[in-house]
Amino acid sequence: MLEALDKKVASKLTYKGRLATYRFCDNVWTLVLSDVDFRVQVPGCPTSEVRSSKIKVVCVDEKLLVPDDAGDGTGEGGGGGVV
């Protein structure tokens, strides 16, 4: 997915706000920001700006999302299973 975003998406999103709280638990970051300004830049279009009073950002380690069929903790499916 990251490769597709890198090669096919030309727009750019930036945001700026105050970090109200943050938490890291079980390889998941949770950030709560307040008074957030978003700026979207699309080639050939005027810049759009949006303001939000509060947002939550959740960042998950990719390895947690990939099924671990191999059972070795690497997150890479080995095609193994119980026979």
- Map tokens 């690497």 to a residue: 74
Tally of domains within the chain:
1
Per the domain annotation, does 22 fall within a domain? yes
Predicted local confidence at residue 83, as pLDDT: 30
Q: In what order do the strands lie in the sheet with 28-41?
A: 12-25, 28-41, 48-60
Percent of the chain with pLDDT over 70: 81
Residue 21 lies in a domain: yes
Q: What is the pLDDT of residue 46?
A: 92
The verdict on pTM exceeding 0.85 is: no
Quick one: which H or E segment has residue 16? Answer: strand 12-25
Listed range (6-10, 15-19, 52-56, 67-71) with the worst mean pLDDT = 67-71
Is-contact 72 80, C-beta < 8 A? no
Looking at every residue in the chain, the average pLDDT score rounds to 82
Domain with 50 in it: what CATH number?
A: 2.30.18.10
Range of 17's domain? 10-61
User: What's the rounded mean pLDDT across residues 30-40?
Assistant: 96
Q: Which two tokens stand for residue 8?
A: 């096919």
Length of the chain in terms of residues written? 83
